[in-house]
Amino acid sequence: MMSSHSTRRTFFAVVATLAFGLAPATAQDARRAYVPAAPDTVRAVAAEHGMVVAQEKISAQIGADVLRSGGNAVDAAVATGFAMAVTYPRAGNIGGGGFMVIHSADRNEDVTIDYRETAPAATTPQIFLGADGKPDIAKSRDSALGVGVPGTVAGLALALEKYGSGQFTLAQLLAPAIALARDGFVVSDDMADTMPGWHRRLARWPSSARIFSRPDGRPIGEGDRLVQGDLAETLSAIAAQGPRGFYEGPVAEKLAKAVTDAGGIMTPADLKAYQAVIRAPVRGTYRGYDVVSMPLPSSGGVVLVETLNILEGFQLTDLKQGTPASLHLLIEAMKRAYADRARYLGDPAFVNAPIETLTAKDYAAKLRSGISTERATPSKELVSAASSPHEGSNTTHFSVVDSRGNAVSNTYTLNFSYGVGLVADGTGVLLNNELDDFTAAVGASNAYGLVGYEANLPGPGKRPLSSMSPTIVLKDGKPVLVTGSPGGSRIISTVLQVIVDVLDYKMDVAAAVAAPRLHHQWLPDEVRVEAGFPNDVLGELKAMGHTIVEPMGQTSANSIVVTPNGPLGAPDPRTRGAEAAGQ
């Protein structure tokens, strides 16, 4: 018999499927039912020295072990990142990509690593159009054409080489991941929950079915041991040869063959050409704090700083947290910054985006002057429009701090849960469908309903625009908050709300992370609200002209605040399995 908990989850999954016409209902859909805990019942986890807050326990502990053995935050992040490729295959990955923001106290530097997937050289702007010239979402979301050249191996290796403590080799940090893949680990309830929604998609490919199915063909379940022998071999090749063990030679050939056999266009030359990039962060200031976040090809930092700049001109603390007046201002700020995202942002190697303008205080002042404190501005008055569908998926964020004042904020993903669902035969590597983040045609939208224009059309060697927003907030040059989230388009607004709740409303980090969140992304012109907002608050927002609907996608803002007494960690209570592992 199902427990009432799982009955409730199934119920919400079914409702979500009916409501949104989604592909398989998922456990993530159930999280729409998240009802926030009362602020006095959530507690941040304290540690004396360092901490890793990640979405999966084993990997968080592996990172904390590295800290305990004298590693710095980057060493720990690399170990956690590789371990999650084994233990959290829906989003942890070596077949996808992501972004890392580093505050290096050791080197007195703030820096980011862009390891976003890249479109293969044969990509054309029309690649995701059907015969009728219209976007064909099956091509970018469900087929091997959506697979971007993976960046994670190059990104984590680059982070270690440049910003690791020098006390650990890549092979040493890969060792726990290799052991977990080779010897297996016990499937958690949280991972088993994803199978009803995603197993069918995985099982389209025998190479994936072999890993994620029991011998009788049913999906793996809670308590099963998941062994990934091929993945252990691939990780061992990286340990032995560095990134070349992945981007060249037998592994690269098998990756490219798997993609082309499935109808995609990625070649061994595409893999060989892949480069992770060190980029200067997007920087902003907010009420005396420095905000350090991800630059293009993620839109996260620009949209975050633009939104914070708009909000800085309002006395949010006078309005109190969670009141209609304060929520209205958040929504109006989001709407304007997301409109600019759609219009201007794309891969900086291809697009000359007006970043300085968008992140300037005087530009924010101009936008702020168009905000009425009484009425919602219709999105169509901000810029011409197009409509959009929704779909929920997965990504994962972890935050790390060490006792030396270093901090790492890392978000990485396969885009959808388990990416495109294809494990490249003989490698154990699950491949992404990240190229759906391109704009298939001018005015079209991606799976998260994000509309785009020319700046984000597909192109050879181009990186699709992301919303991933790993962020570090500093005071007087020292990290005070490390945060980020999965959630597709909702990532940026999630990070924004955590920052506002901690900095403006002085909320305890656990309460800030647990608090219900809302989201507006310009188009569609609606506010997505989690459960937990009182009806009278929603009623007042409606009266101001806001259209209120259910949220989409899953957010999970695993965050850390740093206090004089040590770090305080907030694993997001929306999802089971998140862990704050302290040292």
Q: Which residues are annotated as a binding site?
A: 116, 413-415, 437, 466-467, 488
Q: Is 100 in the site for ligand DON (CB under 6 A)?
A: no
Per-residue tokens: 528: 């997505």
Choose one: 1-9, 103-111, 341-349, 484-492; the region binding ligand DON (CB under 6 A). 484-492
For every residue of 337-386, DSSP letters joined together read HHHHHHHH-S-TTT----HHHHT-HHHHHHHHHT--SSSPPPGGGTS---
Q: Which of residues 366-395 bind ligand DON (CB under 6 A)?
A: 393-395
- Determine the Cα angle at 551 with ends 546 and 553, to 5°: 145
Closest to ligand DON by CB, 321 or 555: 555
Q: Which stretch binds ligand DON (CB under 6 A): 106-114, 204-212, 480-488, 527-535?
A: 480-488
Annotated binding site for L-glutamate: 116, 413-415, 437, 466-467, 488
Handedness of CA 19, 20, 22, 25 (dihedral sign): negative
To ligand DON, the closest distance from the beta carbon of 554 in angstroms equals 5
Identify the active-site residue in 395, 411, 494, 575: 395
**Interstrand relation of 51-54 and 579-582 (parallel, antiparallel or unpaired):** antiparallel
d(CA 184, CA 181): 5
Nearest residue (CB) to ligand DON, 104 versus 417: 417
**Binding span for ligand DON by CB under 6 A among 80-88, 378-386, 420-428, 463-471:** 463-471
552 binds ligand DON (CB under 6 A): no
The answer to whether 468 contacts ligand DON (rule: CB under 6 A) is: yes
Stretch that binds ligand DON, among 1-9, 64-72, 323-331, 465-473 (CB under 6 A): 465-473
Written as one string, the DSSP assignment of 127-162 is TTB-TTSSB-HIIIIISGGGPPBP-HHHHHHHHHHH
Torsion sign, CA atoms 313, 315, 319, 322: positive
On whether the CB atoms of residues 193 and 27 are closer than 8 A, the answer is yes
Residues 6+ apart with CB under 8 A from 376: 328, 331, 332, 544, 545, 546
Residue 268 and residue 252 in contact, taking contact as beta carbons nearer than 8 Å:
yes
554 binds ligand DON, rule: CB under 6 A: yes
Q: How far apart are CA 511 and CA 41, in angstroms?
A: 9
Known catalytic residue: 395? yes
79 binds ligand DON (CB under 6 A): no
194 near ligand DON, rule: CB under 6 A: no
**Identified binder of ligand DON from the candidate list 112, 143, 388, 415, rule CB under 6 A:** 415
Taken as a whole, the chain contains a residue count of: 583
For residues 230 and 425, what is the distance between their CA atoms, to the nearest angstrom?
9
- Under the binding rule (CB under 6 A), the answer on residue 553 touching ligand DON is yes
- Choose between 31 and 199: whose C-beta lies nearer to ligand DON: 31
- In the complex, minimum distance from the CB of residue 576 to ligand DON, in angstroms, rounded to a whole number: 16
150 binds ligand DON (CB under 6 A): no
Write out the residues near ligand DON by the rule CB under 6 A: 393-395, 413, 415, 434, 437, 466-468, 486-488, 491, 553-554
As annotated, the active-site residues are 395
